[in-house]
Amino acid sequence: MELIEIKSLKVTFPTEAGLVRSVDCVDLQLGAREKLGLIGETGSGKSVLAHATLRLLQPDALCEGEILYQGRNLLDCTPTELRRLRGRELALIPQNPSRALNPLQTVGKQLFETLRQAGYSKKEAVAKMPELLRSVGAIDPDSWAKAYPHECSGGMCERIVIALSLAFSPSLLLADEPTKGLDSLNRARIITLLGEVTENRALLFITHDLEAAALLCTRLALMYAGELVELGDKAAVFENPLHPYTRGLLFALPARGMQPIPGRSPPLTALPDGCRFHSRCPEAIARCRSQHPPLFDTGNGHFCRCWLYV
Amino acid sequence: MVLEIGNRYILRRFFSGLLAFLLSITLTFFLLRSLPGDYMTDLLLEIGRYAPPELVASFKHEVGLDLPLPEQYLLYLTGILKGNWGHSFEYGLPVFSLIREKLYWTLVLLLPSSLLSAGLGMGFGAYSGWKNGSKTDAFLLHSLVFVGAVPSYCWGFAGLFIFSFRLGLLPFGGYVSLPGTEPAGLFRHALLPVLTLTLCSVPGIYYLMRNSMLDTLGEDYILAARARGFSESRILFQHALPNSILPVLTMTSLHCAHMLAGSVFIETIFAWPGLGLLTYSALETHDLPLLQGIFLVDTLLIIIANLTADLLYPLIDPRIRSRIRGE
Amino acid sequence: MLLYLLVALLASWLAPYDPLEISGSPCESPGPDHLFGTNDFGQDLFSMLLLGSRATLLFGFLGACISAGLGTGLGVFSGFLGGRTDRVISGTLDVLMTIPQLPLLLVLSIYLRPGLYLLCGVMGLLGSLTQARIIRAKVLSLSTENFVYAAKGLGLSDFHIMFRYILPSVFPLTFVKFLFGAQHYMLLGVGLSFLGLGDPEIVDWGQMLHQVYSGGGFALGLWNWFLPPCFAMVGLSFSLSLLGYSLEPWLSPQLRHEKQAFFECD
């Protein structure tokens, strides 16, 4: 059985400018120990998807569809049930790690609280702390524990945030742009670290960094303007990208010529008719303008939302 | 702990407070001098009418009025620092001791209402921000905006009208500090003014606290704590509350200091024998030295409130602590 | 809310049915002749109330105009020019702001009496300190924005940028501050004349309250004497603050933290 199954998930936010359709009919499955990269640009709905999975969205957000975790629909869970699942089963590595730590408490205190939350006794928590910090690459765990978040560098914060999410040993880790804002050296380290710590668990790796996703994940999912546009094995997506958007992203990589995709993604309050990418698509045909394409199965678990593959 | 903060920080804060105080002193000095005619024309006119000119001259000499201006200023300055704040026109008593006596009674009102309004304002504000969008929040917000829009003297009148006149429950004010007044009488007299003062300063603190709480709740660490499955009460008390109180701290302490100035209205209405009523009577009799003395006390109190907040900050916020250490 | 203001303004022209001269017997109860009765001199309270609104409103708006105008000018200047000018101005502001305003006003009132309007000018001047600080913060954040850089890049003069680019973006903030300022100064003005600092020639609501207070109206429970000005104050002040709050959401959040300045106990 799949570990987590997202079925036609829709997330909308009412705003003054109109309904924002952040996530639109997304279907995703993730098996135990599977590593999936969720790729998209800012505002494509990938972070919202992660937050929706943990039910962390603000109260006015409307979620439709199903998010099944081990067969249980998270959208129907009571707050208490959710609290038991959060952290313990599904852990989030939030964006902006330096802001995801309480600035008034030392790292050690926050780790301690989290370990206590995870069910350790006080003694066990104190004993477990250095071990946990070492596992995320701290050479001197004691000095890390004594530090306040503002005294930590970006890479250090990222590691601490990862340590916090590992305190429970969850079965699924949702990493929300963990390589954002890090220099290339730290980025590589964090990717390696994420690979190590998710050896025995599933990972949903949310990023706009195609290369990082390629290093870590076995499958890739691409999101554009709130919906999935392509989903497939890493090798298939990289060697045989189907969707023009995916091709655009790949050509925008430094190694492949660094050609940016022209135009910008449509506002989520006023999505165009037809394919959401058609105005930027070099291969658009008449049908793309009028008809919204479904997700086509092109075989071997490779899906694409494009009229070119009818 | 305080030593750890570093003395330079305290010193700098202290210095800037001192500067403001000096400025106030200078201001009062020049106001005194620029009074139409001479230093104590009002007083000297009275005396001068009957007294021989030599006596006036000797009086002037005694007060130092025959000295050049810079020396007069220096004299005035040292006088202030030594506690010689001049004499009241009206009472003929030293301003300093007059204020000291009245300040005690004002503090009897001010301390409980400061504590009450800080507690209530922060409590309501935090609750309102935490439950943002709920009915309680909307109710609190609207009613406290209303309370804040009503001037303090109107609340004073309303209190008097309802509790003293209509219900006859509480006295009309006019508390007299007899030696050995029983605490019950003091309580009965002080209740309305304290409540009025509190009522008037709660909305400001409330509004700040609510906004601060809303800002804090939008922070990533709150989201992260939720994602780790912490209970709501733990998130509130461990993460949201400490962080949202921080920016409100200075304002709250200043607020309490400003209540001293605001007490002019309240004490006048309730005839409370404190600094505020003294201000009122000084205004009625044009008692300039007394007014200036009160002004200086107010300035001092605000400086002290500022300093307290400045010193509290590094104790709570490690970021400020290390910024200070880095200096 | 605005309607209230308009009515108050117009009423002072249209409705005074008695001047402030003695028009009846002292301490009359409310009746058809005198809507709210009379005071201890026999002056009609209703027309005092209507006439008083003029002075009170004028006082509030004059004070707010001065503080908003001056504060905005100073803030824009200081924030935009930066450098030494900014350091001198904001340093001075910091020190000056420590000085409590109400007691200072009271001290100064000895000199300025009975000029309530002069006092109002001084009040505006003091209020402009806070205003300048808020505007300065706003301008500082604006200065780093691209359109200002672009304007600089185009070689426009500093003054041109200040008036054409910065001032319009700061204006909403100034306007809201103006509303809160007007509320604050009205309350303060009434408060000051309640303390007996007003001009005895000009009727305003504070004056009425002062008369109640010194005439012993409370102990006698003459509600018709002190309740009308109180309610008039409350209504006016509440409508102004509602207006201010309703405009606030489309403003920058920084305003919120500085708002307290107008929440001082009057």
Going from the C-alpha of A273 to that of each of A13, A242, A243, A261, A291, the distances in angstroms are: 20, 21, 18, 20, 7
Going from the C-alpha of A23 to that of each of A88, A178, A268, C201, the distances in angstroms are: 26, 21, 9, 69
Domain co-membership, A130 together with A265: no
Residue C262 has pLDDT above 70, yes or no: no
Q: Is the residue at C68 inside a domain?
A: yes
Lowest mean pLDDT among A35-44, B47-56, B286-295: B47-56
Residues A43-85: pLDDT tens digits? Answer: 788 888 988 988 888 878 888 999 999 888 998 888 888 888 8
What mean pLDDT do residues C107-113 have? 70
Lowest mean pLDDT among A139-148, A201-210, A291-300, C233-242: C233-242
pLDDT range class, residue A114, cuts 50, 70, 90: very high
How high is the pLDDT of residue B263? 84
3-state secondary structure of C172: helix
* More confident position, B75 or B227: B227
How high is the pLDDT of residue B2? 43
Tokens found for residue A305: 């939302």
**C-beta atoms of B225 and A54 within 8 A:** no
What mean pLDDT do residues C100-120 have? 73
What mean pLDDT do residues C203-220 have? 67
Residue C153 has pLDDT above 80, yes or no: no
Which residues 63-102 of chain C have a CB within 8 Å of chain B? Answer: 94-96, 98-102
* A234 vs A220: CA distance, rounded Å: 6
Q: List the domains of chain B with CATH numbers.
A: 2-35+96-326 (1.10.3720.10), 37-84 (no CATH)
pLDDT range class, residue C4, cuts 50, 70, 90: low
- Could you tell me the pTM of the whole model? 0.81
Q: Is the residue at C42 inside a domain?
A: no
Name the DSSP class of A86: B
Q: Is the residue at C24 inside a domain?
A: no
What strands, in cross-sheet order, belong to the sheet with A172-176? A90-93, A172-176, A202-207, A35-39, A219-224, A227-233, A303-304, A296-297
C contact test, residue of B27, B142, B154 with most C CBs within 10 A: B154
Q: Is the residue at A191 inside a domain?
A: yes
pLDDT range class, residue C257, cuts 50, 70, 90: very low
Residue B209 has pLDDT above 80, yes or no: yes
Percent of chain C whose pLDDT exceeds 90: 0
How high is the pLDDT of residue B206? 93
Q: Single out the residue in A149, A167, A185 at which a domain terminates.
A: A167
Q: Show residues of chain B in contact with A104, CB under 8 Å.
A: 242-243, 246, 316-318
Percent of chain A whose pLDDT exceeds 70: 100
Most confident of A38-47, C81-90, C248-257: A38-47
* B79 vs A182: CA distance, rounded Å: 62
* More confident position, A271 or B2: A271
> A303 forms bridges with which residues in the sheet?
A231, A297
Domain co-membership, A60 together with A207: yes
Q: Is the residue at C81 inside a domain?
A: yes
Q: Is the residue at C133 inside a domain?
A: yes
* More confident position, C158 or A309: A309
Domain co-membership, A77 together with A222: yes
CATH code for position C155: 1.10.3720.10
Chains A and B touch (3+ CB pairs under 8 A): yes
Residue type, B197: L
Percent of chain B whose pLDDT exceeds 70: 80
* More confident position, A238 or B153: A238
Cβ contacts of A118-123, under 8 Å, gap ≥ 24: A118/A87, A118/A88, A118/A167, A118/A168
Dihedral sign of CA atoms C82, C85, C87, C91 in order? negative
Domain co-membership, A66 together with A196: yes
Q: Is the residue at C172 inside a domain?
A: yes
Domain co-membership, A197 together with A254: yes
* Burial of residue B167, with CB atoms counted within 10 A of its CB: 0-12 exposed, 13-18 middle, 19 or more buried: exposed
How high is the pLDDT of residue C255? 41
Quote the mean pLDDT of chain A: 89
3-state secondary structure of A222: strand
Percent of chain C whose pLDDT exceeds 70: 60
Helix (H) or strand (E) holding A6: strand A4-15
Residues C33-55: pLDDT tens digits? Answer: 555 555 555 566 666 666 667 67
Lowest mean pLDDT among A29-43, A199-213, B153-167, C11-25: C11-25
* More confident position, C90 or C224: C90
> C181 forms bridges with which residues in the sheet?
none
Q: Single out the residue in A167, A190, A220 at which a domain terminates.
A: A167
- Phi/psi at A15 (5° precision): -135, 175
All partners of chain A with 3 or more CB pairs under 8 angstroms? B
* A126 vs C196: CA distance, rounded Å: 68
Q: Is the residue at A94 inside a domain?
A: no
Owning domain of residue A187: 4-89+174-309
* B95 vs C104: CA distance, rounded Å: 17
Domain co-membership, A161 together with A264: no
Residue type, C2: L
Residue A108 has pLDDT above 90, yes or no: yes
How high is the pLDDT of residue B236? 92
What mean pLDDT do residues A117-140 have? 91
3-state secondary structure of A114: helix
Q: 10 Å Cβ neighbour count for A256?
A: 12
Q: Is the residue at C129 inside a domain?
A: yes
Nearest CA in chain C to B211: C256
**C-beta atoms of A85 and B229 within 8 A:** yes
Owning domain of residue C230: 61-202+213-265
Q: Is the residue at A46 inside a domain?
A: yes
Residue C128 has pLDDT above 50, yes or no: yes
What mean pLDDT do residues B223-247 have? 90
The answer to whether C138 and C177 have CB atoms below 8 angstroms apart is no
Total count of domains within chain A? 2
How high is the pLDDT of residue B297? 86
Residue B212 has pLDDT above 70, yes or no: yes
How high is the pLDDT of residue A203? 93
Domain co-membership, A179 together with A44: yes
pLDDT range class, residue C242, cuts 50, 70, 90: confident
Residues 6+ apart with CB under 8 A from C30: C36, C37, C224
pLDDT range class, residue A204, cuts 50, 70, 90: very high
Q: Tell me the shortest Cα–Cα distance from B257 to chain C, in angstroms.
A: 9
Domain co-membership, A108 together with A146: yes
ipTM of the complex: 0.85
Going from the C-alpha of B206 to that of each of B102, B266, C178, C263, the distances in angstroms are: 30, 21, 22, 11
Lowest mean pLDDT among A181-190, A267-276, B51-60: B51-60
Domain co-membership, A181 together with A65: yes
B contact test, residue of A57, A80, A102, A157 with most B CBs within 10 A: A102
How high is the pLDDT of residue B170? 66
The answer to whether C59 and C237 have CB atoms below 8 angstroms apart is no
Cβ contacts of C242-251, under 8 Å, gap ≥ 24: C242/B145, C242/B149, C242/C1, C243/C1, C243/C2, C243/C179, C244/C176, C244/C179, C244/C180, C244/C183, C245/B145, C247/C172, C247/C175, C247/C176, C247/C179, C248/C176, C250/C172, C251/C172, C251/C173, C251/C176
Q: Show residues of chain B in contact with C183, CB under 8 Å.
A: 149
Lowest mean pLDDT among C114-123, C156-165, C217-226: C217-226
User: C262: alpha, beta or left, given left = phi > 0 and alpha = psi -120 to 50?
Assistant: alpha
pLDDT range class, residue B222, cuts 50, 70, 90: very high
Alpha helices in C113-197 (DSSP H): 116-143, 146-153, 158-161, 167-194
* Burial of residue A254, with CB atoms counted within 10 A of its CB: 0-12 exposed, 13-18 middle, 19 or more buried: exposed
Q: Show residues of chain A in contact with B242, CB under 8 Å.
A: 104
Residue type, B172: F
All partners of chain B with 3 or more CB pairs under 8 angstroms? A, C
Q: Tell me the shortest Cα–Cα distance from A139 to chain B, in angstroms.
A: 23
Domain co-membership, A18 together with A79: yes
CATH code for position A43: 3.40.50.300
What mean pLDDT do residues B281-306 have? 82
Nearest CA in chain C to B29: C107
How high is the pLDDT of residue B3? 44
Q: Is the residue at C30 inside a domain?
A: no
Domain co-membership, A73 together with A214: yes
Residues A258-283: pLDDT tens digits? Answer: 788 888 888 888 888 889 998 888 88
**C-beta atoms of B243 and A161 within 8 A:** no
* B148 vs C237: CA distance, rounded Å: 9
Tokens found for residue A154: 């970006």
- Tell me the residue ranges of DSSP E strands in chain B: none
- Phi/psi at C163 (5° precision): -80, -35
Cβ contacts of B173-179, under 8 Å, gap ≥ 24: B173/B269, B173/B270, B173/B271, B173/B272, B174/B270, B174/B271, B175/B270, B175/B271, B175/B272, B175/B273, B176/B273, B177/B105, B177/B273
Q: Single out the residue in A119, A149, A167 at which a domain terminates.
A: A167
Most confident of A27-41, B271-285, C118-132, C236-250: A27-41
Total count of domains within chain C? 1
Best CA proximity match to B269, nearest among B135, B109, B130 = B109
Q: Tell me the shortest Cα–Cα distance from B222 to chain A, in angstroms.
A: 8
- Phi/psi at A24 (5° precision): -125, 110
Residue A206 has pLDDT above 90, yes or no: yes
